[in-house]
Amino acid sequence: MTELIRPERLKRGDTVGIIAPSSPPKTEQLTRSLAFLESLGLNWKIGKSVGKKERYLAGTDQERLDDLHAMFRDPEVKGIICARGGYGSARYLEKIDYQMIRENPKIFWGYSDITALHQAIHMYSDLVTFHGPMLESDVAKDDFDPLSAKLFAQLFQPLELHYDESVSPLTTYSGGSARGQLIGGNLSLIASSIGTKFAPSFDGKLLLIEDTDEEPYRTDSMLTQLRQSGVLERVAGIVIGDFKYPKNHKGDFFFEEVFRDFFDGFGKPVVSGFRIGHCQPHFAVPLGVEAYLDADAKTLTILPGVE
């Protein structure tokens, strides 16, 4: 197993880069979120494509790629935080300079559509990245939770994270325990990577899955794809984060039924209910580090993501 690179921790006074690798953020909301970065003692640089719009994308693929490269190359920038997700980060994965990123390791933070970048950077740059709430889509909102804010502390010092039912109620679908690198993120992006060179190695890993605005039958379809492609038999355990119904969901079928169908008697630990994903609080976690899932005790322990 490759030993991934932990990026250097942030310090007060550091500069972070803000990019929009996928869809365009709303300018007013993004501006509102900058006060939070100020409260952390951080300065910022905003990528050139952040204010652009190309159909449903924040500028062209090349413009968004240029921002990603520029922030990793810039020695003043100590970390990169995504403004929002949406759609589009997978469109330029084959053009990323992964060796350059490996030679300039730094904090990279986001989730949702950013899962495509997490997986690719994990595979080809050997860098630990962070699945956490984004600026325009989360931090700027009135319901941004204090726990979500508190978890940014893991960027400033090496913190071992512990999740149990004091954070949220958890459900065990399959008992036991397992240790392995925590990988994954948005289920739609994981499923769409299968069959490409950007699908990660799942062997012995703890797989995190979350999603939003998907009906239970769509979640069933994506889990079927993971099962039929051999992913589920290769992982060491499953960490099920937040799944949010579409606004027009009528309640005829439920995610719990899907998870029970796939994971009752699974033979490996599976726990759901983690507030990780499109939710508040959003419990931010590093990806690529070793984690320990105890499905009987309903606990998840994750090693620090920074040096």
At 271-299, the pLDDT tens digits run: 999 999 999 999 999 999 999 999 999 99
The pLDDT value recorded for residue 2 is: 67
d(CA 174, CA 151): 28
Same domain, 146 and 204: no
Could you tell me which residues are beta bridge partners of residue 54?
57
User: Does 307 map to a domain?
Assistant: no
Q: Residue 248: exposed, middle, or buried by beta-carbon count in 10 A (0-12, 13-18, 19+)?
A: exposed
d(CA 42, CA 47): 16
Sheet order of strands, 206-212 included: 161-163, 299-302, 290-294, 177-186, 206-212, 237-244, 270-272, 171-174
Domain that holds residue 243: 161-302
Same domain, 26 and 144: yes
pTM of the model: 0.96
User: Does 7 map to a domain?
Assistant: no
Total domains in the fold of the chain:
2
Confidence of residue 185 (pLDDT cuts 50, 70, 90): very high
User: Does 3 map to a domain?
Assistant: no
Q: Which of 127, 155, 183 is the last residue of a domain?
A: 155
Same domain, 182 and 266: yes
d(CA 186, CA 36): 25
User: Does 288 map to a domain?
Assistant: yes
Q: Which of 155, 176, 204 is the last residue of a domain?
A: 155
Confidence of residue 121 (pLDDT cuts 50, 70, 90): very high
pLDDT tens profile 20-49: 999 999 999 999 999 999 999 999 999 999
pLDDT tens profile 203-227: 999 999 999 999 999 999 999 999 9
User: Does 2 map to a domain?
Assistant: no
The pLDDT value recorded for residue 239 is: 98
CATH code, 217: 3.50.30.60
pLDDT tens profile 130-156: 999 999 999 999 999 999 999 999 999
Q: Is 23 a catalytic residue?
A: no
pLDDT tens profile 70-89: 999 999 999 999 999 999 99
Choose, from 23, 89, 112, 193, the residue flagged as catalytic: 112
Q: Is 249 a catalytic residue?
A: no
pLDDT tens profile 221-276: 999 999 999 999 999 999 999 999 998 887 778 999 999 999 999 999 999 999 99
d(CA 9, CA 109): 13
Choose, from 63, 136, 210, 214, the residue flagged as catalytic: 210
d(CA 231, CA 238): 11
CATH code, 110: 3.40.50.10740
Catalogue the E-assigned strands of the chain: 15-19, 43-46, 77-82, 107-110, 129-131, 161-163, 171-174, 177-186, 206-212, 237-244, 270-272, 285-287, 290-294, 299-302
Same domain, 141 and 200: no
Q: Is 8 a catalytic residue?
A: no
Choose, from 122, 131, 278, 282, the residue flagged as catalytic: 278
Same domain, 195 and 127: no
Q: Which of 155, 184, 203 is the last residue of a domain?
A: 155
